[in-house]
Chains A and B, each alone.
Chain A
Amino acid sequence: DQQVKQNSPSLSVQEGRISILNCDYTNSMFDYFLWYKKYPAEGPTFLISISSIKDKNEDGRFTVFLNKSAKHLSLHIVPSQPGDSAVYFCAASVGSSNTGKLIFGQGTTLQVKP
Chain B
Amino acid sequence: DTGVSQDPRHKITKRGQNVTFRCDPISEHNRLYWYRQTLGQGPEFLTYFQNEAQLEKSRLLSDRFSAERPKGSFSTLEIQRTEQGDSAMYLCASSRQDRPYNSPLHFGNGTRLTVT
A61 CB within 8 Å of chain B: no
A42-B109, A104-B44, A105-B42 in contact; A96/B100 too (CB < 8 A)?
A: yes
Interface pair B48/A106, CB less than 8 Å apart: no
Given contacts A41-B109, A43-B110, A45-B107, contact A107 B102 (CB under 8 A): no
Q: A42-B109, A96-B100, A99-B101 are in contact. Are A89 and B43 (CB under 8 A)?
A: yes
Residue in chain A with minimal CB distance to B94:
A100
Measured between C-beta atoms, what is the minimum distance from B72 to chain A in Å?
15
Interface flag for A110 (CB, 8 Å): no
Are B45 and A43 closer than 8 Å at their CB atoms? Answer: no
Chain A, residues 18-43, CB within 8 Å of chain B (1/0): the string is 00000000000000101010000111
Query: Which of B4, B48, B107: most chain A Cβ within 10 A?
Result: B107
Could you tell me the distance in whole angstroms from the C-beta of A96 to the nearest C-beta in chain B? Answer: 5
**Distance (whole angstroms) from the CB of A52 to the closest CB of chain B:** 12
Do B42 and A91 touch (CB < 8 A)? yes
A44 lies within 8 A of B43 (CB)? yes
Partner of B101, one of A32, A42, A91: A32
- Residues of A close to B4: CB separation below 8 A: 43
Q: Is A102 an interface residue (CB 8 A)?
A: yes
Question: A100-B48, A101-B45 are known contacts. Are A43 and B107 too (CB-CB below 8 A)?
Answer: yes
Q: Does B22 contact A (CB under 8 A)?
A: no
On chain B, the residues within 8 Å of A103 by CB distance are 45
B100 to chain A, nearest CB (A): 5
User: B93 at the A/B interface (Cβ < 8 Å)?
Assistant: yes
User: B41, A106: Cβ atoms under 8 Å?
Assistant: yes
